[in-house]
Amino acid sequence: VDVAGGDGSEGDENDGGGRGRGLDRKDDLPLDAEGNVFRPSKHAFSAEANDWGFNQFIPLSTVMDENEGFLVDDTILVRVEVQVGFFDLAEGHESRKKTGYVGILNQGATCYMNSLLQTMFNINVLRKAVYNLPTNEDDKPSESMPLALQSVFHMLQFTDIAVDTQDLTKSFGWDVGDAFQQHDAQEFNRILCDRLDEVMKGTKVEGTINTLFQGHFQNYIECINIDFKSVRKEEFLDLQLVVKDCKNIYESFDEYCAEEVLDGDNQYEAEGHGKQDAKKGGKFESLPPVLNIQLRRFEFDFYKMSMVKLNDLHEFYGDIDLDVRDEDGNLKYFSSTADKTVSNKYKLLAVLVHSGSVHGGHYYAYIRPDGTHWLKFDDETVTNVSEEEAIEENWGVSSVPTRMRQANAYMLVYVRASEWDSIMCDVTEDDIADHIRSRLRAEEAARELEKKEAAEAHLYVRMTVATDMDIKSQVDSALFMDLVDVSTLETSMKLPKKMRFGEVKQMMGDKLGIPVDQQRYWRITMNSQGAVRPHTLVDCADDVPLGSLQGIRNRQGQISSFNVYLEHVAPGTGELSKTTRSIFVKKYIADGGSRKTPQLEYVKHVVIPSTISFGNMLSNFKKICGMDESTDCVLLEELKSVPDVNMQEIDLDKSADDQEFPLQNGAILVVQQTPDPCEGSAFPTVTDFFTRVKDRVQVTLKPRTPSPASDKDKKNQPSEVFTLEMMKSWTYDDVSRAVAEHLKLDHPLKVQFTARSVYVEAPRPHAIPYSKDATLQDMCRSQIYTLFYEVIDLPLPDFEKLVTLRVTLHDAKHDEVTTVMVTIPRDDTVSDLQDAIKKAVGDKVKSSDVLRCMEIHHWKIWQVCDPQLQIGECHMEANSANLRAEVVPHAQMDLDKDGMMHVQSLQVEEKENRPNQAFPFSDPFLMDISPTETVGDLKLRVQKEMEIPDEEFAEWKVVLVTSLLTMEPLDDGVVVSEKIPDAGPDVLYGRHGNRSMIGFWHKNKNPRRTHAHLHRNAYGGSGATIKMKI
Enumerate the active-site residues: 111, 362
Q: Where are the beta strands (DSSP E) in 685-740?
A: 696-703, 722-727
Interatomic CA distance for residues 326 and 360, integer angstroms: 41
**Residue 162: how many other CB atoms lie within 10 Å:** 23
Cβ density class 1-15: b for 16+ within 10 Å, e for less: bbbbbbbbbbbbebe
What secondary structure does DSSP assign to 931-942, as a single string? TT-BHHHHHHHH
Instruction: Indicate the SS3 state at residue 68.
Output: helix
Q: Determine which helix (DSSP H) or strand (DSSP E) holds 101, and give its type and residue range.
A: none
Interatomic CA distance for residues 497 and 83, integer angstroms: 43
What lies within 8 Å, CB to CB, of 626 at 6+ separation is 587
**Side chain identity at 551, as an amino acid letter?**
G
The torsion angle over the Cα atoms of residues 724, 730, 735 and 741, rounded to 10 degrees, is -70
Region for residue 640 given its phi and psi (left: phi exceeds 0; alpha: psi -120 to 50; beta: otherwise): beta
C-beta of residue 377 within 8 angstroms of C-beta of residue 103:
yes
Region for residue 979 given its phi and psi (left: phi exceeds 0; alpha: psi -120 to 50; beta: otherwise): alpha
Q: How far apart are the first and last CA of the chain?
A: 45
Q: Determine which helix (DSSP H) or strand (DSSP E) holds 856, and give its type and residue range.
A: strand 851-857
Instruction: Indicate the SS3 state at residue 948.
Output: coil
Instruction: Indicate the SS3 state at residue 853.
Output: strand
C-beta of residue 902 within 8 angstroms of C-beta of residue 893:
no
Query: What pairing do the DSSP bridges indicate for beta strands 2-3 and 79-80?
Result: parallel
Interatomic CA distance for residues 116 and 113, integer angstroms: 5
Interatomic CA distance for residues 180 and 173, integer angstroms: 14
Interatomic CA distance for residues 192 and 35, integer angstroms: 40
C-beta of residue 851 within 8 angstroms of C-beta of residue 839:
no
Region for residue 482 given its phi and psi (left: phi exceeds 0; alpha: psi -120 to 50; beta: otherwise): left
Q: CA 940, 944, 950: angle at the middle one, nearest 5?
A: 75
The torsion angle over the Cα atoms of residues 999, 1005, 1007 and 1013, rounded to 10 degrees, is -90
Q: Is 176 exposed, middle or buried (0-12, 13-18, 19+ CB in 10 A)?
A: middle
- The closest alpha carbon to 391, from 370, 413, 423, belongs to 413
The 8-class DSSP code of residue 174 comes to -
- The closest alpha carbon to 905, from 834, 971, 852, 983, belongs to 983
